[in-house]
Each structure stands twice: as C-alpha cells, then as structure tokens.
Structure 1
C-alpha cells in the first residue's frame, strides 16, 4: 500500500529549530501492504499487515537542517524501513525497535534510536555529533482513531549524556486523496541535554562573541505535523508532509536561537 516515512521524520530532524521553524517535504516510495505508523502507533488498521514488509523510497525536504546548515535548502532524503509482524522494525528515524506490546489499543516497547546533529556554521561553536539513544515508549489508542503517548530517550553515545522526552497526540483518517495523519507534539529535555544543543560555554562565547548561556531543563519546543500518504497503483505511494514548531522556555531564550533567526540558520 504505502511507505511509512512517518510524521516523526521532521520531529527528529528539527533538533535546532528556531523561534518558529517550518519544514516541507515529499517522498516517493515503493511499498508492500502495510498501514502508516503501524510500528508504534495503535491506529485502526487500513489493510492487513503481512508477516514481513520492506519499503524503500527517496524524496526531498525543505526546511531547517538537522546539522545546523543552510535553512533554505532542499535536501535529498532517502528512506528504507522494515517491519516483522509489527514486533521488530527499523527505519532511519526510529532506529531499531521492538514492540513488547502490540495490541490493537496499545503499543509499547523499546528502541535504539539515532539522534542527528552536526557542526554549526558559526565558527568556534561545536554541536554534538551523530549519536544514539536508548528509548522506551508507549502509545494508547482512544476513540476517534486518536493515539496519545510518548517516549523517553537517554543518550548512550556520550554525545550529550542527557535525557529527552517526546509527547504527542495524533489522529489518522482516510480522505479522498489518501491517508492523513495529524500530530500535535512537545519535546523537552534535562539540563544536560538542552545545554548540549542550545548552551554557549565560556570558550565558545570568547570565540563567537555570543553571550554565555546555560539553559535549564524543561520544554524545548511544541509543534504540529501533517503527513499525507497517497497511493499510486498497488506498489507506489507519495508522502507529502509539513511541520511547524516553536521554541519554548529556556531554549527560546538561547543566543543560538536568536542567531539562527537573524542569520536564517546556523
């Protein structure tokens, strides 16, 4: 039926969103039968899921770069995922996951997730490199084909040595042009994690001219994401998506956010 790029593709990438960030994208993929977000979200099934499914595709995303690069640039985005009996699955955003519980109204399990970052264009400012998180998650289905829940992630790669969380409420429905998934979400972290991405230590301040800053723990940003999966024949589909989010709390006051807003990206 449709590939599963999943709305969280943008959530994962926008680790350095500005005061207000917007991202748009499209992915063309080849797929076998399987419902969107079948791995972690307990939505009502659209089609029966085979024992094995493997999806591949590619597309483009316009928006904030996960590596702190040019904001107004279209980036190529490959995609591949697999799913075995809605128990074991993998994709570039969720990493490798296992559903301990895979009931119709509840999905709960663990993931080994990548977290993406990179080097800033601001000379003298270093950001965490590509790392890995160990995560646990749970999502519950409620009437109206709505899924609510979240995950807690702990860095295990010594990039931030911090803990972050993600909470969301998502709705999925069939429309005349495809399957639409809408998500409201919130992300946050402890002081160590927030400081790794949004803090400015004394050494970096002396080189960059930015004001030293150490954010505390709390909410990083809130956002909304939309994903439309439109089938093309039996084996292909187009996924179009949009994501907008706003920095909150101590993160919104970071000089890195202000520099990004002034320069259009860092």
Structure 2
C-alpha cells in the first residue's frame, strides 16, 4: 500500500543531460548538432509511469528532442527552455509531469493522480567536471497545489566504458506537497485502519544516482542507471513509509537503449 509517488525525476534528467538536453552545464562530449531526436526504450525497476506496481520490472519508453541546446523535452520530463546558455551556467524553465502514486489496491486511500509542475532551474559548473544547482517547482494541475525544491551536486567523467554521471541530491516539499503524497487524512485513516498523519513543510529525502551512457557505433547508446534514496524527517515517519520494513529506503535501476537522429 503506497500513496507516495515513485518517479524517475532524478535519473531521467541525468539521461536527458547525457543526451545533450543541457540542463547541466557539463562540457560537451562528441559531435554537436543543431537538432537531435532520441527514440528508444528499456526496462526499469522502482518506477511505473501509469501508476502500476513499482516493485517489479516495468517497460519504459524514451522519446526526446533537443534544438540548439535551447528547446528540449521528452515524454517523461516534459519540455523546457534554456534561457541562459553559457559555458559554466545553464538556467531556464520547465513544464514537467508529476506522476501519481500507487495504492496497491487499498480501498479508501486517495492516491494523487498525474499532475504537472512548472519549474525554474539553474546549474553552475565548478571546475571541469562538477555541477551544482537546483530546481524550484510548483504544481499547476491542482493535484497538490504545492511547491517543492530540488538541490543537487553532480559529477561527469569519461571512462573506458562510456560517460559516467554521478549525482547526490535532496528534495524538499511545502506542507501541501508533503501532505498530498505522504499524509493520511482522517477519512482515509477510518477507511484503511492507518493512523491519521499530517506532514508539514520540510525535507523529503536524500539520494544518490549513477548513470552510464555507453555508445554503440555512431547512432546508438545504452544507458544503465542506479538510484538509492532515503526518506527523511516527518516523511520517513509517515504510516505510508512505515508499512513495510526498511521502506525508508527505495531503489530504482534499469537499462535503456536509444537511437539518435540528428542534423
């Protein structure tokens, strides 16, 4: 039984960045084109785009585009615009989907559905390989009506296997956001037998993510990724988190194969 949303909101920006969507100001690797379209798919554990069971391997599609490092988007991260494109700085705006939770068939538990966030971001490169920054988002679909903050530190390295990106991050939510995804209202408590629980504004979690992009010939690449995340604060004490042993920790991993079209 879960109400919280398990998404690829961490890993997919990394994949998009490796595909030159350029929300991260890492130094460009490989041939640069005016436009690119990436099409592919794969399998992932720990995430379901349609609200299904995340605790199994699910198929995941990938369709993305980038135009002159200004306009970019994909099916799972929405669309964005880089208003500032400098060597060390990327800043812009995004309209992003916010995937709903999963109730595991529990009657009486109201699960947030698919929503949309409008956000602004800025990331600055320190030295040659580190990027620091974050993203502020607000729900514009009235699913939660709240706002959230994402902060990260990322590193990029070229290895013999491919392009490796590593990210540590933390996520914060205001009262509306945290209550929508981690709280239990009185009527839900009566219907489910859970304790009623109110969540205030504060930290949601901290996590670590790895992405390896391995090129295959000229137009193909394989992305393998791993994400470990730990709930913190009032979120970690939510009955929705405590239902299962060690539920404070969540894991996501998977593989994508992408074919690039460019000019």
TM-score tier by shorter-chain length is 0.7 to 0.9
1:49 aligned partner: 32
Match of 1:248 among 232, 237, 246: 232
Task: Number of aligned residue pairs: give it.
Answer: 240
> What secondary structure is seen at the aligned counterpart in 2 of 1:256?
helix
Tell whether 2:171 aligns with 1:173.
no
2:253 aligned partner: none
Once the two structures are overlaid, the 10-residue window that deviates more, 104-113 or 116-125, is 116-125
Match of 1:142 among 126, 145, 148: 126
| Separation in 2, partners of 1:47, 1:10 | 26
Match of 1:151 among 114, 135, 139: 135
Unaligned 5+ residue runs, structure 2? 1-6, 251-263
| Separation in 2, partners of 1:167, 1:142 | 15
Q: Deviations over 1:156-197 (max 9, x none)?
A: 001000001111000001000100000001011001100000
> What secondary structure is seen at the aligned counterpart in 1 of 2:8?
helix
Match of 1:81 among 58, 64, 68: 64
Quote the RMSD (CA, aligned, Å): 2.4
Contact 1:35 1:45 in 2 (8 A): no
| Separation in 2, partners of 1:37, 1:217 | 34
> What secondary structure is seen at the aligned counterpart in 2 of 1:206?
helix
Unaligned 5+ residue runs, structure 1? 1-8, 15-26, 28-33
| Separation in 2, partners of 1:212, 1:159 | 20
| Separation in 2, partners of 1:159, 1:13 | 23
TM-score normalised over the length of structure 2: 0.85
1:182 aligned partner: 166
| Separation in 2, partners of 1:161, 1:66 | 21
Cα shift at 1:10: 2.5
Match of 1:61 among 44, 50, 63: 44
| Separation in 2, partners of 1:163, 1:110 | 15
1:23 aligned partner: none
| Separation in 1, partners of 2:37, 2:211 | 20
2:103 aligned partner: 120
Contact 2:85 2:91 in 1 (8 A): yes
Tell whether 2:182 aligns with 1:198.
yes
1:18 aligned partner: none
| Separation in 1, partners of 2:85, 2:128 | 19
Q: Deviations over 1:179-224 (max 9, x none)?
A: 0000001011001100000000000000000000011111100000
Contact 2:9 2:77 in 1 (8 A): no
| Separation in 2, partners of 1:216, 1:110 | 27
> What secondary structure is seen at the aligned counterpart in 2 of 1:98?
strand
| Separation in 1, partners of 2:113, 2:92 | 26
Where does 1:20-59 land on structure 2 (aligned, <5 Å)? 35-59=18-42
Once the two structures are overlaid, the 10-residue window that deviates more, 121-130 or 241-250, is 121-130
Cα shift at 1:65: 4.4
